[in-house]
Amino acid sequence: MCGIIGYIGKQKAAPVILEGLKRLEYRGYDSAGVATLYDGHFDTAKKAGRVDGLIKATKAQKLPGTTGIGHTRWATHGGVTDTNAHPHISNDGKIALIHNGVIENYVGIKKFLTGKGYTFTSETDTEVLCNLIDYHYQKEPVTKEGSRFLEAVRKTLRHVEGTYGIAVMCADCPAEIVAARKGSPLILGVGDGEYMLASDVAAIISRTQNVVYLKDGEMVHMTAKNFTITTLEAEDVSPVIDTVSWNIEDAELNGYAHFMEKEIFEQPAALENTMRGRFSEDGSTAQFGGLNISAADFRQIDRFHFLACGSAWHACLVAEHLIERFARVPVEVDYASEFRYRNTPLDRSTLFFTVSQSGETIDTLAAMREAKRKGYKVLAINNVVGSTIAREADGGVYQHVGPEIGVASTKAFTSQLLLGAMLALYIGRMRDMSFSDGVDYVNALKSAPQLVRQVLEQAPKIREIAKRYAHYHDFLFLGRLSLFPVALEGALKLKEISYIHAEGYPAAEMKHGPIALISEQCPSLFLVPAGEMFNKVVSSMQEIKARKGKIIAVLSTGCELPAGLADDVIHIPECHEAVLPIIATVPVQLLSYYITVELGRDVDKPRNLAKSVTVE
């Protein structure tokens, strides 16, 4: 969940590392630190709080050295303090370590090391790991062949239980970094006369677009001149150098106040990129190049099972509705974090989908591995090329929306909605959907970007509405059928960036308990569609209004509410059922964003949250 960056080259390491840490801020963190190696000792700076505080500290210390590591920490073991921040240094000053993940058996290791005379100043599992590497380094014989440092790290990791992405320096090795991963992403950047290490491409994209995606169980040994990759069993690995398809400009604000704002307004282009090249020549169905499953095999599937977390889980709920509606195939949607611990009865003719923007979500990755272990084919929907889920899945679909920097998902979420709708079309046309219905469906999907642009034109109006609701402490989001997951997403957006308590419900469920919350101090946002659900939702709205609850209505154009029923109305274009969840999502994104701006919260770096959740 936190950020890692390392550097070996000709330039001073500290400025490169600090720039990388700034670019990793969006991942979520509570403290930051840097260590450089110079003249046989480590120069370190660590600060709780933002990277800007660390930058001030390093200017005062003027860290030398052309080899260094840096880290942004999201606390797991131990509170948010300077002492608990990374890097950690071993007792004798020989080893410096940064670490993402959780060492599950650190208590036993700490007890062992304490018996050997080691002492600890922090509350972290990382300091324990650092001293265990030092212990093996001191025991490792000095030989002419191989690296004593590398082998000490390798031996240590054989005793570790849990997840990790680590970068390690040794005071006796002036231009070396050893890194390894298990369950936490690491990327090697291959530059011009320099090598970098990062947990996220964003940290190094300003210096190189040539990267090697490390796999679980792999270690990289970097020097000033080259690098080698091996496994924990010391087997050589031939590296594959990939080229990142986006550049540094894609990760800049480009005139917007926040990345979330930028990414909301990028959604029309993101949807176009998601669709590009994915419709048949006759315009009646979708087509996907990377599913690695034949149409004949697809027709034999009796059930689809989706695994996801957070916003991606909400997108899967919409996919469930659309696939059952248009393809008439049963769909199950599971929280990935729960699936791996349940003994779920599964039909043999089930196809799994995992959905994760980053492709590194640890719960989703573990759930995917569990499904594969039981013999099921698993396809993936994700946005990051080269991610662990993308590599380990049997096939899948890339979203192609570019980097999403804001912690609160926006363009990645609506892209996932679109791909769910396209899957419903793809499967439906294999079953019993007619050619003409398929053409109508495709035309509706193609209209989505322009419909989103129409909603975005109402941003100034939505901002004014947001100002009127920014100081309430509770909020309800209500919808039905495919709009119920959008209500869940709207509530999540408001919670995670504004810190206002919000809940999403099916509109008809209000009278079964939650209506007790209704008062003048608890506004409700209703997603009001045209068609058969219109009168049903209006009835639920009247129940709220009868109890003096304030109402914001997101209303399809052409529908008319009874006079005085809604306090504020946001109109969205009337559209096809498959596109409706995408269009209805945009107003709730804007409302949450503008409420948060009005409250003066940190939109792109909300407290306690991380962009990519890589610890269980």
Catalytic residues: 2, 611
Six-digit token string for 346:
């599964």
Beta pairing class for 350-356 and 378-382: parallel
| Three-state SS sequence of 354-416 | EEECCCCCHHHHHHHHHHHHCCCCEEEEECCCCCHHHHHCCEEEECCCCCCCCCCCCHHHHHH
Interacting residues of 346 by C-beta distance below 8 A, sequence separation 6+:
305, 374, 376
Sheet strand arrangement including 524-528: 501-506, 474-479, 524-528, 551-556, 568-572
HSE-up of residue 497 (Cα within 13 Å, Cβ side) = 33
Report how far residue 120's alpha carbon sits from residue 343's, in angstroms, rounded to the nearest whole number.
41
Helix (H, G, I), strand (E, B) or coil at 198: strand
Q: Count H helices and E strands in the chain, helices first.
A: 18, 25
Beta pairing class for 378-382 and 395-398: parallel
Q: Measure CA 4 to chain center.
A: 16
Report how far residue 402's alpha carbon sits from residue 379's, in angstroms, rounded to the nearest whole number.
21
Contact call for residues 581 and 318 (beta carbons, < 8 A): yes
Report how far residue 120's alpha carbon sits from residue 129's, in angstroms, rounded to the nearest whole number.
11
Angle ∠(305,185,604) on CA atoms, nearest 5: 85
Angle ∠(249,250,252) on CA atoms, nearest 5: 65
- The secondary structure of residue 214, as a DSSP letter, is P
Q: Tell me what percent of the chain is helix, strand and coil, each rounded to the nearest 5.
A: 40, 25, 40
CA-wise closest residue to 206 among 424, 29, 7, 495:
7
Contact call for residues 417 and 582 (beta carbons, < 8 A): yes
Task: Identify each DSSP E strand in 39-186 by its residue range.
Answer: 41-48, 67-73, 88-89, 95-103, 162-170, 176-182
Question: Residue 5: beta bridge partners?
Answer: 70, 198
Helix (H, G, I), strand (E, B) or coil at 60: helix
- The secondary structure of residue 595, as a DSSP letter, is H
Write phi, then psi, for 556 (nearest 5 degrees). Answer: -65, 135
| Alpha-carbon distance values, 600 to 26, 475, 521, 604 (Å) | 17, 18, 21, 12
Six-digit token string for 552:
């914001």
